[in-house]
Structure 1
Amino acid sequence: MPHRFFAPDLTHDAPTVVLPPGESLHLARVLRLREGDAVEVFDGRGALHAARVERVAPGGSVLAVQGARAAAPEPPAPIVIVQALLKGDAMDAVVRDATVLGATAILPVVSARTNVPARAAVAAHERWQRVAVAAAKQCGRAVLPTIAAPCELADAVGTALTNVPTRLWLAEPAVSGDHGGEVPSPPQATALAIGPEGGWTNEEVDAARAAGWRPWTMMPVTLRAEHVALAALSVIRYAWDAALRRRMT
């Protein structure tokens, strides 16, 4: 399988595209590709093309763009991850897993029990973008999720996502009263709110209910905070795919 590169300036009618510095450096210094080598290039918005290396330069390698190729299929409906900020590598893991499993957007939020300084979260935003690019390259996806700047939980819960028809608040069984929870079918735009290491406060749960979020529990065990997005997205993607298969038979 050819190496894949991210080029946000890729257009379907341009014969060539210049890679960003980070991608160019990876091509030239890490992979040590040469002129004429076959690669793939994607724009982060759904387009994936075959390409060949035309010029190698650590600051701006040039690819000759060739025919379009099929990327990994996107989910049948948008999925937004509202993730309370996690410490260090845990947040990187959420971004990576959410990208691979088809999240459309990732909205980091500051909750009552968030243990991440605001300045550190802002500084990490650029790293999360790089993590998403690497994850998309690895899994074959041609769409990058939008990663918003961190905001207060109340803003995300009360106003930012009111137009999303299905809003699921990931919670302990004692909160949701449900050890499984049904995934909405047929697929429709869905937002998943996932708490920090210490979980949600009672006040946050009450505010979410009042704003129209439905408490939802996948299983009667407690997962680590950085594993919840992976599990929830897997459950939803499987349920949606199963529903679509049933409709086709």
Structure 2
Amino acid sequence: MPHTFFAPDLTPATPTYTLPEDESKHAVRVLRLQEGDAVTLVNGQGGVFGAEVSDASPKRCQLRVVSEEQVPPRSFQVHLAVAPTKNLDRMEWLVEKATEIGVDTLTFLRCARSERRDLKLERLEKIAVSALKQSGQAWLPRLTELTDYARFLPTTAPATTFIAHLEDGERTPLSRVAAAEAGCCILIGPEGDFTPQEIEAAFARGIRPVTLGSSRLRTETAALAAVHTVHVARELAGL
């Protein structure tokens, strides 16, 4: 199977592509690619390109594009809004696995009980790119800067936004409502959960509460379970 490289600025009108120096070095010296070898290029915007090595230079490995395919976006959009954990490794794991399964947008929330008050996206974006290449996905998820919960809520569409929380009260299984919508946004709180005030603020906007099951899940586990639940629910519904 051809090796995959990320080429964010590649378009269907581009006949050749030169890998960045770090990727060129990896392709030639580590993967030992030679002239004529086949590779795959993805631009993260649905473009999947077949190419072959035309110049195996470890500083400027040049590729000739020989085929192209535009993969349409999913018929439904998955938006995950999650409060990052204090341990950043757990968020890196979430970004990797959610990208592999298929998520369109990852919004990071700053909530009242959040232990992490700042977040740098550069490493998380690199992890998303790596997961994109590994999993064969064509669309790179959009990662947003850390956003205050109170500022984020008014940007949501209440009819397709759901909040998973641990407070008492009636909640609908996410699997039941996810299949009924063309897309959805799921809110996942911090390690101490959303505050009662944050939950009430969501209810005031018409956002519905959902459950992911009877177990008490870690933040990153709940977030990944939510993404997977949406995909499975829609597959089972034949959507």
Structure 2 match to 1:180: 173
User: Within the alignment, does 1:18 sit opposite 2:18 as a pair?
Assistant: yes
Deviation for aligned residue 1:194: 1.0
Deviation for aligned residue 1:68: 2.4
- State the Cα deviation string for residues 91-127 of structure 1 (Å, max 9, x = none): 1112112211221111111111211242xx13xx000
| RMSD, aligned α-carbons | 2.1
- State the Cα deviation string for residues 56-113 of structure 1 (Å, max 9, x = none): 4455432211112576x85421111101012211111121122112211111111112
Of the three residues 198, 201, 214, the one matched with 1:204 is: 198
Distance 2:150 2:228 in 1: 27
Deviation for aligned residue 1:161: 2.1
Distance 1:165 1:50 in 2: 41
Give the TM-score of the pair, scaled to structure 2.
0.90
- 8 Å CA contact 1:7–1:18 kept in 2: the answer is no
Structure 1 match to 2:221: 227
- State the Cα deviation string for residues 133-155 of structure 1 (Å, max 9, x = none): 01111110011011111111111
- 8 Å CA contact 1:75–1:237 kept in 2: the answer is no
Distance 2:22 2:193 in 1: 36
Identity of aligned residues (%): 34
User: Within the alignment, does 1:148 sit opposite 2:141 as a pair?
Assistant: no
- 8 Å CA contact 1:76–1:187 kept in 2: the answer is no
Distance 1:89 1:95 in 2: 10
AA aligned opposite 1:39: V
- 8 Å CA contact 2:50–2:68 kept in 1: the answer is yes
Deviation for aligned residue 1:185: 3.4
User: Within the alignment, does 1:190 sit opposite 2:184 as a pair?
Assistant: yes
Structure 1 match to 2:90: 90
- State the Cα deviation string for residues 156-214 of structure 1 (Å, max 9, x = none): 11x2223x641011122x44523634224344121011112221111111111112221
5 Å-filtered alignment, 1:86-165, equals 86=85, 87-118=87-118, 121-122=119-120, 125-157=121-153, 159-162=154-157, 165=159
Deviation for aligned residue 1:16: 0.7
Structure 2 match to 1:61: 61
Structure 1: runs of 5+ lacking an equivalent: none
Q: Secondary structure at the match of 2:197?
A: helix
Aligned residues: 237
AA aligned opposite 1:18: T
Give the TM-score of the pair, scaled to structure 1.
0.86
- 8 Å CA contact 2:40–2:48 kept in 1: the answer is yes
